[in-house]
Amino acid sequence: MTDQLPITNYQSPETLVGLVSQYSPSGQERGAVEWLVARMKSLGYDNAFIDEAGNAVGVVGQGTKQVVLLGHIDTVPGEIKVEQVSDSLYGRGSVDAKGPLASFVDAVAKVGAKDGWQFIVIGAVEEERDSDGARFVATQYKPDFAIIGEPNQWDRVSLGYKGSAWAHVTVKRGQVHTASGEETAAEAAIEMWLKIKTYVDDFNADKQRVFDKLLLTLRGMESASNDFEQWAKLKIGVRLPVEVSPQDWYLKLEEIVSGEEVERVGFPVMAWKCEKNSQLVRSFLSGIRSQGGEPRFVYKTGTADLNIVAPAWQCPAVVYGPGDSALDHTPNEHIRFEDYHRAVEVLVTTLDKLTIASN
């Protein structure tokens, strides 16, 4: 493995610290958005504004070729004291995903305008809920390249995220005497769950990678009755591989529980696998190596705004950002300054090489 180059600048990066200091759980992002717009203006962005969905948007350059760097500015709830401890910054969102977003902001400011190119940095709202910010920008831009901000370590690039679909399966039965021995709605619901699980286990049997499997979860179960009817509801979630669309899953689920009520819940998203042989990926490999790293690829079992924008934009895309994703949503969330600085330099080199190679 290549020796890592020394980082001599360990000072607290102002963009990262300032952004993490703005507590912004989903639905309460406005203060952080306003702060980030002001920060991008102070860094010399050609334009910075709040769009119709409430996202923070910064623009550098006026060219016809476009790179969108899309991070999310919201976090899960749970405020953590923002403080520097040794070489790390603690605070909600320091990893997921203000660290990646701040690195985008600083890197684009450092690269500056490039002839023929335009860089657009977006701090999207509502990613931790229904991705309202990403759903809006998916209709507003048609970039040549897209970089999505999520924590995957500074020397790794993610090339895929699983999809997801949620459903409620409700089993209803007529009211019967407890001494009748007839199957209750709750018992029937359990049988339905076991049938669903058997199908998933069979589907996964020959799959080697978790990324290629169906990941099934029973999120909850409830039951009740009235004078004439009893019912039981299964709350089911599934993480989907690329080969199974949400529609495919819903149809299979309805087939398995034939005759029972299936309610589709929330916004299903399809899995997405990025093209590995692209100039964007090659530029990232060079960027990581420029900082002494040995590039690695990863495929994630969760979902991200990649799942929303990539199908709409149909351009080369990757997911990148500093931070340890094992710290996502935890009370111990923190990011190392060294990792942050390296990520900024990786992005600078990547954007330099990308714009030269793609001219």
Distance CA 98, CA 267 (A): 24
pLDDT of the residue at 178: 58
Q: 122-144 burial, b if ≥16 CB within 10 A, otherwise e?
A: bbbbbbbeebbbbbbbbeebebb
Question: In this predicted model, what pLDDT tens digit does every residue of 145-166 receive, in sequence order?
Answer: 999 999 999 999 999 999 999 9
Question: What are the phi and psi torsion angles at 56 (to 5°)?
Answer: -85, 130
* Number of Cβ atoms within 10 Å of the Cβ of 209: 8
Q: Of the residues 106, 126, 127, 260, which is catalytic?
A: 127
**32 is written with which tokens?**
């952080």
Give the rounded distance of the alpha carbon of 116 from its chain centre. Answer: 30
Which SS3 state, helix, strand or coil, does residue 103 take? helix
Out of 74, 96, 324, 333, pick the active-site residue. 74
The answer, yes or no, to whether the previous bond of 134 is cis (omega within 30 of 0) is no
End-to-end CA distance of the chain: 32
Domains along the sequence of the chain with CATH? 14-161+271-357 (3.40.630.10), 163-269 (3.30.70.360)
What b/e sequence results for 300-324 when a residue is b if at least 16 CB atoms lie within 10 Å of its CB, and e otherwise?
A: beebbbbbbbbeebebbbbbbbbbb
CA-CA distances (angstroms) from residue 11 to 18, 38, 347?
13, 21, 19
> And the tokens for 167?
């459903």
Query: Quick check: is 127 catalytic?
Result: yes
pTM: 0.91
Q: What confidence score (pLDDT) does residue 174 get?
A: 81
pLDDT averaged over 10-residue windows placed end to end, the chain, 359 residues: 39 90 98 98 98 98 97 97 95 98 98 97 96 97 98 97 97 72 88 98 97 97 87 97 98 96 95 97 98 97 96 98 96 97 98 93
pLDDT in tens, 168-178: 999 998 876 55
Q: State the pLDDT at residue 10.
A: 45
pLDDT for 256 = 98
Residue-wise DSSP of 223-260:
EEE-SSEEEEEEEEEEEE-TTS-HHHHHHHHHHHTTTS
SS3 121: strand
The DSSP result for 313-337, as a single string, is H-S-EEEE-SS-GGGTTSTT-EEEH
> Annotated catalytic, 34?
no
